[in-house]
Amino acid sequence: MFKVIIGNEQSEDDLEEGGYGFEFLPIMLSFFQNCIAFGEDAFFQFEHEQDTPFSLLSKSITRILAIEKNIGDMYTSSVCVMKLVGTVLENCTGKIDKYLPDFVSLLYNELDEKPTSRLYKSAILQAFAMLFVYNTTLTYDSLEKLGQTEAMLKTFFSEMNIFRKTYEIRRVLYGIACILANDPRNAPEILSTEIEAMMHTSIVLIDTYVGAKEKEIKKEVVCIN
C-alpha cells in the first residue's frame, strides 16, 4: 500500500505528485497505525520484494513529505506521517535503535522549515515527545551526535501553548514524564538544571488537559441530547 501512495519513483508524474493512492493516506492512517501497534514482529520480518513493511514506511516518509511540498497541500499527509512516526516510537521499543538518529534529524529538519500549520507543528513535537518514550537516554545521545540538543529542546519547551486537544497533551506529558523519570545526571545540561521548570510545565499541561477534557465531554453531551 505504501507503494500505491508514493507511486513509481521512475515515473516523473509520480515523483512529483505521488501515486494514485496518495490522497487516500488520511483514510488509511488508522489501518497503518493498527498494523504497527498490533502486527508485532511481522512489521519487521515479513518481506515482499526484499522490503519489510518497516523499510517501506521508512522510504515512504521522506517521499510523502516531499510530494506534499511539491503539490502545495496544507500539511494533510505530513500530519499523517508524523502520527505514524509517533506510533512507531510508541510501539516498537528496542527494535529501531539504529534508526533513532534518522527520526531525530527528520523532526529537526521539518521544524527548521518553520511550518505555518499549528496541527503540523503540534504533530512534529508530539513525535519528538515520543522519542523520549521510546528511549530517553538514546534520544539524548542522538541529539548530541547530531548537534541538535539545545535547538530541539528549546523549541519543544517553548511551544507548550500549541497543544490544545487531549490526545496532543497526553503524548507530550508522556514524553516529559519519561524525561523526569530518567536519572537527571544523564540529561543534557540544558535539562539537568531545569527540573523544577519541567515540573511546572507538567502541572500547566495537566490543567490544560482537564479543561480540554471538560470541553470534549460537554460537546458529547450536546450531541447526545
CB 102 within 8 A of CB 144: no
CA dist 15 and 208 (Å) reads 42
Give the pLDDT of residue 128.
96
Give the pLDDT of residue 5.
57
Domain parsing of the chain, residue ranges? 1-73, 93-225
Three cell numbers, residue 85: 512516526
- Return the biggest CA–CA distance within the chain: 55
Cell 500547566 belongs to: 204
Q: What pTM value is reported for the model?
A: 0.85
Give bridge partners of residue 224 from the DSSP assignment: none
Give the tens place of pLDDT for each residue, 138-157: 999 999 999 999 999 999 99
CA dihedral 31, 125, 89, 77 (to 10 degrees): 30
Q: What is the band of 119 on the pLDDT scale with cuts at 50, 70, 90?
A: very high
